[in-house]
Amino acid sequence: MNTMETWLYSLITRTPQEGFELAIVLSQRGGVLYTQPSEEIRELLRPVYSTNADSLIAVSQVIAINFQTVAAANNYWRDPPRCR
Amino acid sequence: MNTMETWLYSLITRTPQEGFELAIVLSQRGGVLYTQPSEEIRELLRPVYSTNADSLIAVSQVIAINFQTVAAANNYWRDPPRCR
Amino acid sequence: MNTMETWLYSLITRTPQEGFELAIVLSQRGGVLYTQPSEEIRELLRPVYSTNADSLIAVSQVIAINFQTVAAANNYWRDPPRCR
Amino acid sequence: MNTMETWLYSLITRTPQEGFELAIVLSQRGGVLYTQPSEEIRELLRPVYSTNADSLIAVSQVIAINFQTVAAANNYWRDPPRCR
Amino acid sequence: MNTMETWLYSLITRTPQEGFELAIVLSQRGGVLYTQPSEEIRELLRPVYSTNADSLIAVSQVIAINFQTVAAANNYWRDPPRCR
Amino acid sequence: MNTMETWLYSLITRTPQEGFELAIVLSQRGGVLYTQPSEEIRELLRPVYSTNADSLIAVSQVIAINFQTVAAANNYWRDPPRCR
């Protein structure tokens, strides 16, 4: 694995939407940045999947899985916490 | 990531069906709006996946994953809450 | 999203099998009814996926994910509840 | 949905292996029996997926998801229960 | 389902790595041994998926799902248990 | 299964990013090292999936699933723990 600068400090976000956007960051990091470190190749791949319906659905699925993690970390932004 | 207007305020919904419909919104946002910001291309893709059985099944899967998150956030709309 | 009549009142079912059948309903609603509102096209797609082994396996997967949600909502139909 | 005889009485099993086998039953029911009620067609599909490596992996995945549900229902067959 | 000898006694393992290896066993059992009982055919399929990148990724996914189950069963090998 | 040296000592990490990187390790081990022990073949496969958008998305998904496990093990790196 590459030694990388710190990019993930916390799973805690102020709002659900920030949590969703963190899930997108996690989805982009996983598999892509770590598996294909070349920015040039990544740029070549982007138009391929961003214009393919099934690829976009697959991206949505990865985001959904990461959003489960982030949402649980934030106790679903329930305030006051119900689960206490 | 694009700076976006606020579209996700809370995971809490009044009813299971509203929760399911929120899961659909999350599924459409993830991967699609963020990954393919062009509305024109999205409109071109829509007839492709909406008439393909396997794409529709894949969409169902993303919704199912997001519904897990929303349902957990709402403590499964159990009333009175059983898990207390 | 279409304005729809109420079709999902509760995730609570009396038995595991009713819960499984609710998971099937959720799987059919997600992605299909909401993404492809035309009943005519849905009828055309049905013979396609119902005779394709991989499509049927993918359908099973969506149902399995929704069944996780329904089973958790019902505290796995454990009676008397163990998790108390 | 078809009216079906009762086939799922409980998610509770005596042992992990019985739980795994229940997960297999759930995987076969979902998508297959309910989506393709014709036994004749199901028999035709069986040799297709049972000799295809990717189909078998996909089947394993559905079983793994259902096993998560069954294992949670049984509190992972921990005895004496640790999580109490 | 075949009557099988007992192969799964417990989800509890001493270490995370043993848990990971149990997840591999569960992934091989599900779908493969139960769905394709012929050892001869299984041997024919092995070189197909073990040299195909996408098949290997799919295998990794099944293992990841089963590892979630095993890790939860073992309370993530946290010692002393934090979640109490 | 091969007898392997110990490579997985704990799911506990100091930071979320270390947890994410552990999830990558788990994703590489599962399916790949255990299913395809030949380093030579693995090296041949790497350029195949690392330049294919859909393969990279699939890798991201495996990492997302493993990250759920690692994040839960670490109680989402919440400090002080909220869920107590």
Contact F6 E23 (CB under 8 A): no
Alpha-carbon span B59 to B27, nearest angstrom: 8
Checking if the pLDDT of B46 tops 70, the result is yes
Within 10 angstroms of residue C54's Cβ, the number of other Cβ atoms is 18
Q: Taking CA atoms, what residue in D is nearest to E39?
A: D51
Alpha-carbon span C64 to E69, nearest angstrom: 15
Report, as ranges of residue numbers, the positions in chain C whose pLDDT lies below 70.
1-3, 80-84
Which residues neighbour B10 within 8 Å (Cβ) at sequence distance 6 or greater? A16, A77
Read off the pLDDT band of F3 (50, 70, 90): low
Provide, as residue numbers in chain A, all residues whose Cβ is less than 8 Å from the Cβ of F17: 4, 6-9
Q: What is the pLDDT of residue F74?
A: 98
Contact F50 A30 (CB under 8 A): no
Structure tokens at B8: 């996700």
CA distances from C57 to C16, C68, D25 (A): 21, 17, 13
* Touch between chain E and chain B: 3 or more Cβ pairs under 8 Å: no
Q: Taking CA atoms, what residue in D is nearest to E83?
A: D83
Contact A25 B66 (CB under 8 A): no
Q: What is the pLDDT of residue E51?
A: 92
Alpha-carbon span D11 to E20, nearest angstrom: 25
Q: Is the pTM of this model over 0.80?
A: yes
Q: What is the pLDDT of residue F81?
A: 42
Q: Taking CA atoms, what residue in A is nearest to B27?
A: A60
Which residues neighbour D8 within 8 Å (Cβ) at sequence distance 6 or greater? C15, C16, C17, C20, D25, D26, D29
Structure tokens at D41: 């067609």
**CB-count exposure of residue F80 (10 Å: 0-12, 13-18, 19+):** exposed
Provide, as residue numbers in chain A, all residues whose Cβ is less than 8 Å from the Cβ of F30: none
- The 8 Å CB, 24+ separation contacts for A40-46 are A41/F50, A41/F51, A45/F51, A45/F52, A45/F53, A45/F56, A46/F53
Q: Tens of pLDDT along E12-42?
A: 999 999 999 999 999 988 778 888 989 999 9
The residue type found at F53 is A
Alpha-carbon span C82 to C71, nearest angstrom: 14
Q: How far is F74 from chain A (nearest CA, A)?
A: 10
The partner residue sitting opposite F64, judged by closest CB among A11, A27, A73, is A27
Q: Tens of pLDDT along B50-82?
A: 999 999 999 999 999 999 999 999 999 996 544
Q: Write down the H helix ranges in chain D.
A: 16-28, 39-50, 53-73
Q: How far is D47 from chain E (nearest CA, A)?
A: 9
The partner residue sitting opposite B50, judged by closest CB among C6, C36, C61, is C36
Q: Tens of pLDDT along E43-68?
A: 999 998 999 999 999 999 999 999 99
Alpha-carbon span A17 to B6, nearest angstrom: 7
Read off the pLDDT band of E3 (50, 70, 90): low
Provide, as residue numbers in chain D, all residues whose Cβ is less than 8 Å from the Cβ of C22: none
The partner residue sitting opposite D16, judged by closest CB among E11, E45, E54, is E11
Alpha-carbon span D11 to D72, nearest angstrom: 9
| Mean of all residue pLDDT scores within chain E | 88
Q: Quick one: average pLDDT of F13-40? A: 91
> Is there a contact between F58 and A58 (Cβ–Cβ < 8 Å)?
yes
Contact F67 A69 (CB under 8 A): yes
Which residues neighbour B54 within 8 Å (Cβ) at sequence distance 6 or greater? A54, C49, C54, C55, C58
Q: What is the pLDDT of residue D30?
A: 76
Alpha-carbon span C35 to C60, nearest angstrom: 19
Contact C35 B56 (CB under 8 A): yes
Residue that is written with structure tokens 């809490």 in the block: B12
| Mean of all residue pLDDT scores within chain B | 88
Residue that is written with structure tokens 């509102």 in the block: C37
Alpha-carbon span F29 to C39, nearest angstrom: 45
> Is there a contact between D13 and D69 (Cβ–Cβ < 8 Å)?
no
Alpha-carbon span E31 to D58, nearest angstrom: 8
The partner residue sitting opposite F27, judged by closest CB among E25, E54, E60, is E60
Report, as ranges of residue numbers, the positions in chain A whose pLDDT lies below 70.
1-3, 80-84
Q: What is the pLDDT of residue A3?
A: 58
Q: Quick one: average pLDDT of B36-42? A: 91
Q: Tens of pLDDT along F54-64?
A: 999 999 999 99
Contact A73 F68 (CB under 8 A): no
Structure tokens at D70: 């069954």
Alpha-carbon span A61 to B69, nearest angstrom: 13
Contact D23 E7 (CB under 8 A): no
Contact C64 D6 (CB under 8 A): no
Alpha-carbon span A30 to F23, nearest angstrom: 9
DSSP labels for A42-71?
HHHHHHHHHT-HHHHHHHHHHHHHHHHHHH
Contact E49 D50 (CB under 8 A): no
Provide, as residue numbers in chain E, all residues whose Cβ is less than 8 Å from the Cβ of D15: 6, 8-9
Which of F52, C34, D49 is CA-nearest to residue B17?
A: C34
Kind and range of the H or E run holding B40: helix B39-50
Q: Which residues of A touch B (CB under 8 A)?
A: 15-17, 20-21, 23-25, 49-54, 56-65, 67-68, 71-72, 76-78, 82-83
Q: Taking CA atoms, what residue in F is nearest to E70?
A: F69
Counting as contact any 3 or more CB pairs under 8 A, the partners of F are A, E
Contact D58 E31 (CB under 8 A): yes
What ipTM describes this predicted complex?
Answer: 0.88
Assign D39 to helix, strand or coil: helix
Provide, as residue numbers in chain A, all residues whose Cβ is less than 8 Å from the Cβ of F57: 31, 49, 55, 58-59, 62
Contact D65 E61 (CB under 8 A): no
